[in-house]
Amino acid sequence: MWLCGMWIIIPFYLKFQEGEFHGVMRFYFQEAGAKVATKCIRVASSATAKAVIETLVEKFRPDMRMLSIPEYAVYEIHENGEERKLEDHERPLLVQLNWHSDDREGRFLLRRIDEKVRFKST
C-alpha cells in the first residue's frame, strides 16, 4: 500500500523539483461601457504576464486575432482602489501568491492599455 502512495508522490516531487507548479486563476475583462466578463484559466508558475495576455485575448476576444490587435495589459486591482500594471516579464501566479504574505486581496483585470476604465468590484 505504501508503494502505491509513493507513485502518487513522486510525480509531484519531480514537478516541484523542476520549480514549476500550476494554479487556476480568475481574470476579469471590461471594455469601456461594457459588462464585466470573467474567465478562469490554468496558469503555470513560469508563465509570464505576456504569455497570459495572449491566452486571455484569445479566450475573451477570439475574433480580435484576425483584426489589428490593440495592446492589452494585466492590472492587479486591490480592494483599496490601488491598481498596478504587470510588466511583461512578471509571473501573475507568483504575484497572486504574494498577496497572502502582504495580507492583501485583489483581482486581475485584462484591459486595453489606452483605456482608463475603473473596475468596480462586486
- Checking if the pLDDT of 16 tops 50, the result is yes
**Which one has a higher pLDDT value, 67 or 85?**
85
Cell numbers that stand for 54 in this block: 495572449
- Higher local confidence (pLDDT), 100 or 51: 51
pLDDT digits (tens, 9 = 90+) for 36-80: 889 999 999 999 999 999 899 888 876 655 455 568 899 999 888
Confidence of residue 105 (pLDDT cuts 50, 70, 90): confident
With 0.75 as the threshold, say if the pTM is over it: no
Q: Which amino acid is at 18?
A: E
State how beta strands 83-85 and 72-78 pair: antiparallel
Query: What is the dotted CATH code of the domain comprising 19-112?
Result: 3.10.20.90
